[in-house]
Amino acid sequence: MHTTFKYTEPKQVTMQNPISIRPTEEIERKLEKLMDLEKTEKSTLMRKILTTGIDEELKKCALELFRDKKVSLAKAAEIADISLREMMDLIKEESLSLHITVEDIREDFEAAMR
């Protein structure tokens, strides 16, 4: 399988309100290690880690809702903030059934055309 990646310009990042946490000693030690390995500042690293974690949690929630037949394929992809193709790949990786109806295909097509 050949994967093609499309370059997109980075989004302009607008900083919002700060989020404060009190890391455990273990988290602090791991952060220091990553900062050293990636040669980056703590705030930059924290944004990266938080973004990755949120993305993964959204995918996890979307997969669970789809597995439980509470959302369609298109809605699961929307929740996870990924393309239909990426959602289908996640479903395949999890060995889940697509359980797609003709109505689902129609709704997904209409959503894609918007």
Kindly indicate the confidence band of residue 112, based on its pLDDT and cuts at 50, 70 and 90.
confident
15 is a domain residue:
no
Give the tokens for residue 42: 């703590």
> How do residues 30-67 score in pLDDT, each as one tens digit?
999 999 999 999 989 999 999 999 999 999 999 999 99
1 is a domain residue:
no
**Count of domains observed in the chain:** 1
Phi and psi at residue 40, to the nearest 5°: -135, 165
User: Measuring CA to CA, which residue among 59, 70, 61, 58 is closest to residue 99?
Assistant: 70
Torsion sign (Cα): 32, 37, 39, 41: negative
7 is a domain residue:
no
| Residue 49 lies in domain | 25-113
